[in-house]
Structure 1
Amino acid sequence: MLTGKHCVITGAAQGIGRAIVETFVEQGATKIYALDRNIDNMQDWQTDAVIVPVALDVCDQDAVANWVQTLHQQHAVIDILVNNAGITRDNLLTKMSESDWDAVIDVNLKGVFTMTQAIAPLMIAQERGAIVSLSSVVGTDGNIGQTNYAASKGGVIAMTKTWSKELARHGAQIRANCVAPGFIETPMTANLPDKVIEMMKGKTPLGRMGTAQDIANAISFLASDNASFITGQTLKVDGGLVI
């Protein structure tokens, strides 16, 4: 349960991010700052007493710093940070453009760094907190046509391991973990050809695609006090795709 927790969730407008927000509400969170570049998809949350939609680009360091400074001035407590925002720009190595490389690294890696760097001082002052970042099985095992995505998600794992050591110094109960999804039903996979979907299901021992809820459940566990002795870990939620 997340009763009484104050949370920041990035990439919250759709897919996995929306499922995380709704799961945190169900788990009893007191305040959820739901961040995304575009909050048009959050209109149904505008009157929610728990969810606060925030239009924010995780790649904009100044904007992120200013927003977090506002939270600090309001004496806000942030118990949980979920770094979910991410994009893909797939292509083979020999055909990948510099702009596609830069875009993915900027959102998936720099964005996670930027948000965590801004929020971490609040957690350090509190001497407690939980950071859960979205990686991918592609970040642990690679995938054809995803050099940029693999690099970004592998980097998230490396940063997470570092933060689990760095932020817990001097006895602070600050934990950092990753969730690495496998093949999940999201807007990113909605336009894939049926033959690709069936092929990936065939490679997954549990015989299906994962759901956004599957990922949200894993994140809510790692963010909760039930995982109070788990840090620096990467939890694969992939139906056995990568064993």
Structure 2
Amino acid sequence: MSRPLEGKLAIVTGSSRGIGAAIAENLASKGADLVINYTSQSSAELAQTVANELSSTHKIRAVPIQADIGTPDGPAGLVSAVKSTFSKGDKFQIDIIVNNAGIAENALIPDVTVAQFENTYRVNVLGPLLLVQAAQPYLPKDRSGRIVNLSSVSSSTGFVTQSVYGGTKAAVEAMTRTWSRELADNCTVNAVNPGPVEGPMYASNAPVFLEGIEGWIKHTPLMKAVEGDAVDASMPAGTRAARTKEIAGVVGMLCGEDAAWVTGQVVCANGGMVMLH
């Protein structure tokens, strides 16, 4: 079985569940050692379970490390903990960073609060920036590194209730382009922009949001359900959300050697809901 990421070290933020866990699984299957990052103590057991399963199944090293990406010291603390765990003498390199951790606090304009704005921008924008800042000294020097940022179709679609969340994802895409230039000697930097993905985060959206997005979903080529597709209660009849492994597959592709000539791009991982040019 091909293991093109054998010996590489990957940090996946927010990887105890959902898309993050699926990305960790994809990278582990390709041979990468993994940092399973999680935020709160309530996720510690789940993160340890993910790490144990990946280590056992794929014969790699997967270590859970708690760090709150949404705090000023969290990202640097994460890198410090990763270094102390994975360094071999004076040798330490971070090959892959997947900025997956994110939150959404959706509200119509009159209901948006300063706290919602600050919380969401800290986790979704400042966190990835501080993590890359802390990791930069340890990135490869031969362009073999990979950074993949999780954006969203919300950065460009203007969905109702997403003044704040959509803005954070547009910022992520802007940083992606800047980093692709500043880090060109170290790594490629790309983003992926999922639409609706299976799981509790999408299902928890308010009815006003779900109603507004329905037309988009019905016109998305790959969201038309086919025989054998599981039913998603939060999706319009006859449609389905993306599976976490489908998003993980795109991220995994961008982390491989074959993607060495792709940088500064937003790769549409949303079934055709958004077609950028």
TM-score by length of 2: 0.79
Deviation at 1:94, TM superposition (A): 2.0
Partner of 2:98: helix, strand, or coil?
strand
1-structure distance, mates of 2:143, 2:205: 44
1-structure distance, mates of 2:273, 2:181: 29
User: 2:263 matched to which residue of 1?
Assistant: 231
Q: Would you say the 8 A contact 2:143–2:188 is kept in 1?
A: no
1:99-138 deviations in Å (ceiling 9; x for gaps): 1111111111111111111112211656541100000111
1:177 aligns with 2:190: yes
1:31-54 deviations in Å (ceiling 9; x for gaps): 101111032312324543521101
1:58-96 deviations in Å (ceiling 9; x for gaps): 123324323423544633221100000001100112221
Query: Aligned Cα RMSD in Å?
Result: 2.2
Partner of 1:175: helix, strand, or coil?
strand
1:120-166 deviations in Å (ceiling 9; x for gaps): 22116565411000001111232111011111000000001000011
Q: Would you say the 8 A contact 2:155–2:169 is kept in 1?
A: yes
More strand by percentage: 1
1:44 aligns with 2:49: yes
State the identity %. 33
Q: Would you say the 8 A contact 1:91–1:145 is kept in 2?
A: yes
User: 2:64 matched to which residue of 1?
Assistant: 53
1:114 aligns with 2:130: yes
1:62 aligns with 2:73: yes
Partner of 2:250: helix, strand, or coil?
helix
1:157-208 deviations in Å (ceiling 9; x for gaps): 000100001111xxx2411000000111122023458994893642322213
Choose the corresponding residue for 1:202, options 218, 221, 237: 218
1:136 aligns with 2:149: no
- The structure whose RCO (Cα within 8 Å, separation 6+) is larger is 1
Q: Would you say the 8 A contact 1:45–1:52 is kept in 2?
A: no
User: 1:161 matched to which residue of 2?
Assistant: 177
User: 1:20 matched to which residue of 2?
Assistant: 23
What letter matches 1:184 in structure 2? V
What letter matches 2:199 in structure 1? T
Q: Using a 3 Å threshold, how does the CA distance of structure 1 residues 242 and 127 change in structure 2: closer, same or farther? A: closer
Structure having the higher Rg: 2
2-structure distance, mates of 1:225, 1:215: 18
1-structure distance, mates of 2:156, 2:137: 29
Runs of 5+ unmatched residues, structure 2: 225-239
1-structure distance, mates of 2:161, 2:76: 34
1-structure distance, mates of 2:118, 2:206: 27
What letter matches 1:147 in structure 2? S
Q: Would you say the 8 A contact 2:100–2:149 is kept in 1?
A: yes
Deviation at 1:27, TM superposition (A): 1.5
2-structure distance, mates of 1:137, 1:67: 28
1-structure distance, mates of 2:51, 2:268: 33
1:92 aligns with 2:94: no
Q: Would you say the 8 A contact 1:181–1:236 is kept in 2?
A: yes
User: 1:4 matched to which residue of 2?
Assistant: 7
1:198-230 deviations in Å (ceiling 9; x for gaps): 936423222131111111000001111110010
Q: Report how many residues are paired.
A: 239
2-structure distance, mates of 1:218, 1:46: 21
Pairing of 1:185-224 with structure 2 (within 5 A): 185-191=198-204, 196=210, 199=214, 201-206=217-222, 207=224, 208-224=240-256
Runs of 5+ unmatched residues, structure 1: none
Q: Would you say the 8 A contact 2:65–2:81 is kept in 1?
A: no
